[in-house]
Every structure is written in structure tokens, then in C-alpha cells.
Amino acid sequence: MDKLIEILKEIHPDVDFETENALVDDGILDSLDIVTLITEINDRFDVSIPAEEIIPENFNSAAALYDLITRLDED
């Protein structure tokens, strides 16, 4: 989780990712951020996020994103 927070902080240093749970719905993460995030996750977690998983529910909070990474890694 710390590694993921670190990636998110690199993109938006001013956001409290531990508590924020509407990252997409509130427009904090836009398409540019999401694509950057996916590239970084692919690099550092060795998990590739497919396009069909790009839905707000998976990106609205760090916790949801971490769950997605864990699920894809287990698959």
C-alpha cells in the first residue's frame, strides 16, 4: 500500500490519498493521471491493468486501487 501511495503522491503531492475516496468522481484524477498511474503500477508492481478495469469504482480511492492490484496479481 505504501508503494501505491508513493506513486499517487508523485502525481498529486497535495492530495491526502489515505482518506480521499472520490478521486475520479471529484475530478482529482483525470485521464492523464490514470494513464500515468497505470504505467507506474505496471512498472513497480509488475501488474498490467486492462482497459476494462478502468472504471471509477477501481480508481476512486487508494484502497480500491490496491484491491484491484491485489486481485489482478492473484489472477
Partner 1 sequence: MAFTSVEFICFLAVTVLLYYLIPKRTQWPLLLLASYIFYFLAGGWYLPFIATTTVSSYFAAVIMLRSSEKEKNYIESNRDNMSKDERKTYKAVQKKKRFRILVAALILNFGILGVLKYTGFTLSNINSLIGFFGGQDKISVPSLILPLGISFYTFQTMGYLIDVYRNTTTAEKNIFRLALFVSFFPQLVQGPISRHSELASQLYEKHTASWSVIAPGALRVCWGYFKKLVIADTLMVAIKAIVESPAEHEGMYVVYLIIMYSAEIYADFTGGIDITIGVAQMLGIRVTENFNRPFCSKSTKEYWRRWHITMGSWFSDYVFYPVSICKPMQKLSKFSRAKLGAAVGKRIPVYLATILTWFLTGLWHGAGWNFIVWGLLNCLIILVSQELQPLYDRFNNKHKALADSRGWEVFCQVRTFLLMGIIRILDCYRDVPLTFKMFGTVFYSFSSWRDLFNGSLSDLGVSLSQYAVVIVAIIIVWAVSRKTEEGALFGEKLCSRPLLFSFCAAGLIAATLIFGSYGIGYDASQFIYSQF
Which CB sits closer to partner 1, 20 or 33? 33
Residue the block writes with cell 489482478: 72
Which CB sits closer to partner 1, 18 or 71? 71
Residue 41 Cβ vs partner 1, minimum distance, rounded to whole Å? 10
Q: Which of 32, 72, 45 is nearest to 64 (CA)?
A: 72
- Contacting residue, 42, 56, 57, 67, with partner 1 by CB under 8 A: 42
Length of the chain: 75
Q: Which of 71, 57, 69, 50 is nearest to 23 (CA)?
A: 57
Residue numbers of the site for partner 1 (CB under 8 A)?
30-32, 34-36, 38-39, 42-43, 49-52, 54, 75
